[in-house]
Amino acid sequence: MGKKLVVANWKMHGNLAENKLLFQAYIDQLSSLKNTDVVVCVPYPYLAQAQSMLQNTNIAWGAQNLSKDAVGAHTGEVSAAMIKDFGASYVIIGHSERATAYCESDENIATKFVQAQAHGLIPILCVGETLIEREAGVMQMVVGKQLDTIINTYGAAVFANSVVSYEPIWAIGTGLAASSDQAQSMHEFIRGKVAVLDKTAATSMKILYGGSVNPQNAVQLFAMQDIDGGLIGKCSLNAQEFERICCAA
Query: For binding to ligand PEP (CB under 6 A), which residues are involved?
Result: 9, 11, 167, 172-173, 210-213, 231-234
- The annotation places the binding site for substrate at 9-11, 173, 212
Catalytic residue among 95, 104, 119, 133: 95
Tell me the C-alpha to C-alpha distance, in Å, between residue 77 and each of 65, 69, 83.
Answer: 9, 9, 11
| CA pair distance 68, 98, nearest whole angstrom | 14
3-state secondary structure of 87: coil
Give me the least distance between CB of 213 and ligand PEP, in Å please: 6
For the CB of residue 64, give the shortest distance to ligand PEP in the complex, in Å: 9
Write down the least CB distance from residue 207 to ligand PEP, Å: 14
Q: How far apart are CA 58 and CA 79, in angstroms?
A: 25
Nearer to ligand PEP, 11 or 187 (CB): 11
Q: Which residue is at the shortest CB distance from ligand PEP?
A: 233
Catalytic site residue 95? yes
The two beta strands, 90-93 and 163-166, are unpaired
The residue among 40 and 232 lying less far from ligand PEP, judged by its C-beta, is 232
Query: Of the candidates 2, 1, 4, which has an alpha carbon nearest to the alpha carbon of residue 37?
Result: 4
Q: Rounded to an integer, what distance in angstroms lies between the CA atom of residue 129 and that of residue 141?
A: 9
For residues 150 and 213, which CB has a smaller minimum distance to ligand PEP in the complex? 213
Instruction: Choose, from 104, 129, 133, 167, the residue flagged as catalytic.
Output: 167
- Taking the complex as a whole, the smallest distance from the CB of residue 157 to ligand PEP amounts, in Å, to 26
Buried residues in 232-245 as b, exposed as e (16+ CB within 10 A): bbbbbbebebbbbb
Nearer to ligand PEP, 55 or 174 (CB): 174
Residue positions annotated with a catalytic role = 95, 167
